[in-house]
Amino acid sequence: MSERPPTRPGAATGDRGTGEPPAQPGATPVDNAPSASAARPRPTATVEAAAPRPRPLADAGIALSFLTLVPVPAAAHRVGDFGRAAGWFPLVGAAVGALAGGVRVAAEPLLGAAPATVLALAALVAVTGALHQDGLADCADGLGVRGDRARQLAVMRDSRIGTFGMLALLGWGLMLLTTLAQVSAADALLALIAACALGRAAALVHAAATPPARRDGLGAGFAVRRRPLLLGALTAAAAALLAVGPLRGLLALAAAALVAALSVAWARRTLGGRTGDTLGATIALTELAVVVALAASWH
C-alpha cells in the first residue's frame, strides 16, 4: 500500500470528486433546444445491467483489485470501501503467496533453487504492482530524513525513491532470496502462503491500532472495523496453521504479531499514525519476518 494516487483502473481516487467533468473556463450556457436523443430517457436495460453484485462478492472483488493487478469486472470503489473489504485481504494474500510459491515449484527443476526463487519473488512483486515495496521504500526514506514530522511525511509522499528507500528494498529482496533459496520448493510454497496471508492481517492490525497521520490519503480512508478485523485475523491464522502445521503456524503468528506491534509503535511515535506507506511497509516486513522464522525452524 502506498500514499500515491492509484493509477490502475478501478483504483480509489480519494477526494477527487464524483467523476463529473469540470466546467470549461469561459463557457456560457447554450439556449438551443435539446436534441431529441438528449431528451429521450435512458433505457431501463442499462439500469438493470448496472445492478450491484451481492456484498460478499463485491467486497472480495474490491480486495482483489486493490491488492493485486488482477482485473476485476465492476470493481470500481472508493477509499472508504477498503475497510469493509478488509476481511478478504488475508485470503487474497494467501493466493498471492501460492502464485509466487507455484512459480518456485515449477521453475526449480529447470533452473535450480536460486534462479527459481528470483522468479518467484518477481512474480510476488509483479502481481501486486510493487504496492507494498513502494510503501517500504517510502517509510525508509522518511525514517532516514532529518527534520520534524511534517518533513518526514512530505518525503514519504514524494514519488522519488531515495538512498534509504533503495537500501531497504535491496535488503528486503536479498533476505527473502537467500532465505527461500535454502529451503525446498515445497517448503518455500508453504512459507509464502503463510507469510503473505499474515502480512495482510498484520496490516489490518496496524490500521486498527493507529490513527491517520494525515487528513487525506489512503491512511485516512482505510478504517478497519471489528468484524472485518476479526474475519481477517481468523483467515490468516487458519491459512498459516493449515500451510505449515500447528507449531510452525504459531511461530509464524508470533513473528507477524511482533512486526505488527513494532510497526504500530513506530508509526504512532514517529508519524503520529498510519499512512498508506506504513500499511505497505508492515505487509512487506511481515512477509520477510515470517519467511525467516519458518526457514529457521526447518534447519
pLDDT tens across 146-181, in order? 888 899 999 999 889 999 999 999 999 999 999 999
Residue 172's domain comprises 85-298
- For residue 214, the surrounding DSSP H or E stretch is none
Would you say residue 6 lies in a domain?
no
**Overall domain count for the chain:** 1
pTM of the model: 0.80
Of the pLDDT bands very low, low, confident and very high (cuts 50, 70, 90), residue 145 is confident
How many percent of the chain have pLDDT more than 70? 79
Spatial separation of the C-alpha atoms in residues 124 and 180, rounded to whole Å: 13
Has residue 10 been placed in a domain? no
Contacts by residues 220-224 (CB-CB < 8 Å, ≥ 24 positions apart): 220/79, 221/12, 221/14, 221/78, 221/79, 221/80, 221/82, 221/83, 222/1, 222/79, 222/82, 222/83, 222/86, 222/274, 222/276, 222/279, 223/80, 223/83, 224/83, 224/86
Instruction: Report yes or no on 287 lying in a domain.
Output: yes
Residue 255 in domain: yes
Answer yes or no: is pLDDT of 38 > 90.
no
Q: Does residue 68 belong to any structural domain of this protein?
A: no
Question: What whole-number distance in Å separates Cα of residue 210 and Cα of residue 249?
Answer: 26
- CA-to-CA distance for 65 and 69, rounded, in angstroms? 6
Kindly state whether residue 211 falls inside one of the protein's structural domains: yes
Closest CA to 204 of 275, 270, 279, 133: 279
Position 297 confidence tier, pLDDT thresholds 50, 70, 90 = very high
